[in-house]
Amino acid sequence: QVQLVESGGGLVQPGESLRLSCAASGSILVISTMGWYRQAPGNQRELVADINSVGNTNYLDSVEGRFTISRDNAKNTWYLQMNSLKPEDTAVYYCNARIKKTWTSRFDDYWGQGTQVTVSS
């Protein structure tokens, strides 16, 4: 079994910061891409940022320069530092990882349970 556990969401005012964390545990051989998605009410889930195994990152245009994704491979944990938050960043944020459990298995996608981020004055 593989489990992804998120933490760090909450309610903040515009311009403030939050850091999300996601820790993967269980039967894990290797994690390739780690990412963060978000879904606001009435919207589709969208990719916010991801980071591959060699540290290359990819960001949603609207968060570029404000959000930073990072990873700690030794801890199977990754982070999303969110600065200068805006009301339009309000959403449920989900972590995602492509995980290989054994040498003979394929990479599969796993998801966290979601954490609410609300930006409001």
Three-class DSSP labels, the chain: CEEEEEECCEEECCCCCEEEEEEEEECCCEEEEEEEEEECCCCCCEEEEEECCCCCEEECHHHCCCEEEEEEHHHCEEEEEECCCCHHHCEEEEEEEEEECCCCCCEEEEECCCEEEEECC
Averaged over successive runs of 10 residues, the pLDDT of the chain (121 residues) comes to: 95 98 96 97 96 96 98 96 98 97 94 97 95
